[in-house]
């Protein structure tokens, strides 16, 4: 275990939950009969942004659009590696219009933007991890999109099959603890039950030292976390996982986004990482 884990400063993109609601149900967490407290959601979201900033990270925001209640889940709009932006093509027709404001934001900021032809939900299913990209499929992002992503970025894409509808996006079942740097594999935390047997075996081969989460911690959105290599911004409900991470020298930073769990989202879902060209 390293003496002291070193954080890397990140640039994040977020979207204020001003129009957040559960108006349709496209994953098992969502129930249209269950009201959302928008004031509470705004409060929780603001503390996430404040916490990132307090830890030295840069946070940019896209203007929220009325009628797009899931737009707060910025992770789904794209995946960005070395300044190249691969924009999403959402599975649900209700979410497809979200691509427009996000793409406009990236263009205004001067990024090169490419669209996915196939169904693809950005960082929800595409997780850059050191020398490769981990890619979920089974519920949303398709294998065809994995192929497009590999072609666009020129990095090896490792397809992983998700099998549990509660973990419909890869970022609900796995997160990167540290991305290794210098071509090293780094490490991840994940819940094995979310994956097909073959995909589980792939993860075991790639990450023999992975942190294995329980179903309980996964259901508390513990794997929908963001790590900067030292601090892990994590759901306070995932106590067991936070203890494991602390034992490995990480610093868990609890941020409660419980209002967003009603839509099937948590910390990582609300956070898009903008990976620019490293100098």
* Residue 76 binding ligand ARG, by CB under 6 A: yes
Rounded distance between C-alpha atoms, residue 62 and residue 18, angstroms: 12
Options 12, 20, 73, 153; binder of ligand ARG; rule CB under 6 A: 73
* Residue 14 binding ligand ARG, by CB under 6 A: no
Residues 198 to 257 in contact with ligand ARG, rule: CB under 6 A: none
CB nearer to ligand ARG: give 169 or 230: 169
- The answer to whether residues 239 and 195 touch, using CB atoms and an 8 Å cutoff, is no
Instruction: Look up residue 192 and give its DSSP letter.
Output: G
Query: Which residue's C-beta sits nearest to ligand ARG?
Result: 269
Beta-bridged to residue 80, according to DSSP, are 85, 274
Catalytic residue among 15, 87, 269, 270: 269
* Residue 134 binding ligand ARG, by CB under 6 A: no
Measure CA 193 to chain center: 18
Q: List phi, psi (to 5°) of 19.
A: -115, 20
How, if at all, do strands 187-190 and 174-178 pair?
antiparallel
CB of residue 149 to ligand ARG, shortest distance in Å: 16
Options 17, 52, 79, 124; binder of ligand ARG; rule CB under 6 A: 124
- H-run or E-run covering 241: helix 239-247
Contact set with ligand ARG (CB under 6 A): 26-27, 30, 70, 73, 75-76, 95, 124, 169, 171-172, 263-265, 269
């Amino acid at each position: 275990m390293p003496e002291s884990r070193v954080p890397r400063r990140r640039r994040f993109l977020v979207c204020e939950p001003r129009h957040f609601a559960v108006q349709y149900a496209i994953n098992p967490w969502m129930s249209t009969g269950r009201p959302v407290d928008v004031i509470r959601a705004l409060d929780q979201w603001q503390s996430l942004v404040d916490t990132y900033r307090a830890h030295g990270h840069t946070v940019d925001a896209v203007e929220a659009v009325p009628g797009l209640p899931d737009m707060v889940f910025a992770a789904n709009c794209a995946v960005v590696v070395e300044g190249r932006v691969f924009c999403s093509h959402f599975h649900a027709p209700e979410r497809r219009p979200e691509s427009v404001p996000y793409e406009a934001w990236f263009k205004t900021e001067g990024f090169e933007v490419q669209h996915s032809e196939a169904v693809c939900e950005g960082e929800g299913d595409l997780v850059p991890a050191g020398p490769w990209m981990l890619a979920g499929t089974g519920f949303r992002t398709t294998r065809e999109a994995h192929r497009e992503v590999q072609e666009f970025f020129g990095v090896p894409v490792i397809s992983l099959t998700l099998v549990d509808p509660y973990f419909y996006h890869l970022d609900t079942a796995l997160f990167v603890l540290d991305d290794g740097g210098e071509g090293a594999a780094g490490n991840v935390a994940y819940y094995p039950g979310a994956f097909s047997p073959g995909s589980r075996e792939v993860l075991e081969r790639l990450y023999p030292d992975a942190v294995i989460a329980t179903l309980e911690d996964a259901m508390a959105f513990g794997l929908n976390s963001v790590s900067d290599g030292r601090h892990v911004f994590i759901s306070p409900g995932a106590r067991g996982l936070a203890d494991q991470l602390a034992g490995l020298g990480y610093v868990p930073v609890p941020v409660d986004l419980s209002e967003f769990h009603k839509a099937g989202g948590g910390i990582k879902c609300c956070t898009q990482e903008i990976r620019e060209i490293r100098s």
